[in-house]
Amino acid sequence: MTSLTLTRSVSVQFFECSVSSKRAQVGATFGETRSVGSSQATPSERGEEHQGQDPSNTGQSWQMNKTALLQLRQNLKPLQTAKRFVLSQDISAKKRRLPFVFRPKNSLYMKDDMFYTLPKVSPFSGRSLGVCSLVGNGGILTGSKCGEQIDSSDFVIRFNMAPVCPPYLDDIGRRTDMVTTSRDRMRSKFDSLKSHTGREKFVNHLHHQYGQDTYIVSAPFTVKGNIGSLLGIPEVLTSHNSSAVPLFINPSHAGTMLQTWRKLGLKLSDGETNFSSGFYYASVALELCDQVNMYGFWPFPEDREGRPVSYHYYKSVDSGGLNNRWHDMDKEFEKLLEFHNHGVLQLISGNCR
């Protein structure tokens, strides 16, 4: 990602963000410069491994097992994630139909105007993203003081347009290289980009909380209902002269992901149609990154000390996780914990300092 400094001074109030702080910070009053994509040496360039707290509570520090990681990557090789994770012009064709992942009999016709919103090639082809941090939205992040450690990563992925602003910065960090969004988020917070207010709010949220060169990733081709809320993102960004980079998940890649994990023994439960976004992007990161660290992934209503944990760090105690009717979080978390214990990726569920 190229280096970018934002210096505009504008007061903006965002949802789920505190406005009590008078200090100019990302997501509050913009008066200080913010550098996105630092030119300082990254952890992977220094040959470092991030160390976090062991979620299995054994007291042992985590160590990467490169042999196990390479073996898993070999198993995930059919996905061709670097090339096929997102739609691009070199793997797509104009005037053809894109089948929806979960309703393959339904499809969307690839018109010229949509084709030319796609990148010519995948931005992830031919390079490693280095040390990647996936920052989930779990309330387990509250009070963790993991922000500095997250920001020292080479590449930071956040989920569902989560707020990156006071009072959460000490726990979640500031840096964002990629952020996902969903149909429900676009509907509830940005009016599916149908109104002028919704479009303005969407662009302001992107720029002031994540930085202007951030990848914004969505999945319009999972079901037909996603089209109306997600397909218009590139046009809105272009009309607002935004340098944020819109990307669409390749429905073929998402479908192959399900098949690949099924062959590896991880099957969806009855009534479940897809993995959670956290598990999907963990699978993506395992192919694109040298090391994968996961923060904020904790599906349980209490921490290890029995204290209540909210489902999201930006909300009060609420239900979710094991009670989530859309995803089998228990099964997914067990797999992630297995990866952690085998040195494939690192789950950080305690305090960083």
Over residues 182-210, mean pLDDT: 94
- What percentage of the chain exceeds 90 in pLDDT? 56
pLDDT at position 11: 36
| Predicted pLDDT at 343 | 98
Mean of all residue pLDDT scores within the chain: 82
> What is the C-alpha separation between 213 and 276, in angstroms, rounded?
26
Q: Tell me the percentage of the chain whose pLDDT exceeds 70.
A: 77
pLDDT interval class at 50 (50, 70, 90): low
Domains in the chain with CATH codes: 54-348 (3.90.1480.20)
Mean pLDDT calculated for residue range 129-152 = 97
Residue-wise pLDDT for 300-323, tens only, equals: 888 888 889 998 999 765 544 445
Asked if 303 contacts 18 with a C-beta cutoff of 8 angstroms, the reply is: no
Coil, helix or strand at residue 263: helix
Asked whether the bond before 167 is cis by omega within 30 degrees of 0, the reply is yes
Say if residue 329's pLDDT is above 70: no
Q: Which residue has the tokens 């960090």?
A: 173
Whether the Cβ atoms of residue 204 and residue 217 lie closer than 8 Å to each other: no
Distance CA 122, CA 239 (A): 23
Q: 136, 112 in Cβ contact below 8 A?
A: no
Q: Is the pLDDT of residue 33 over 50?
A: no
pLDDT level of residue 49 (50, 70, 90 thresholds):
low
Q: For residue 59, what are its two tokens?
A: 């007291």
> What's the pLDDT tens digit per position in 86-131?
999 998 877 677 877 766 677 787 888 889 999 999 999 999 999 9
Question: Considering only CA atoms, which of 283, 293, 278 is closest in space to residue 346?
Answer: 293
Residue 217 CB partners (closer than 8 Å, separation 6+): 86, 178, 179, 180, 181, 247, 248, 249
Q: Is the pLDDT of residue 12 over 50?
A: no
DSSP state letters, 178-244: EEE--HHHHHHHHGGG-SHHHHHHHHHHHHHHH-TT-EEEE-TTSSGGGHHHHTTHHHHHHHTT---
Residue 19 CB-half CA count within 13 A: 7
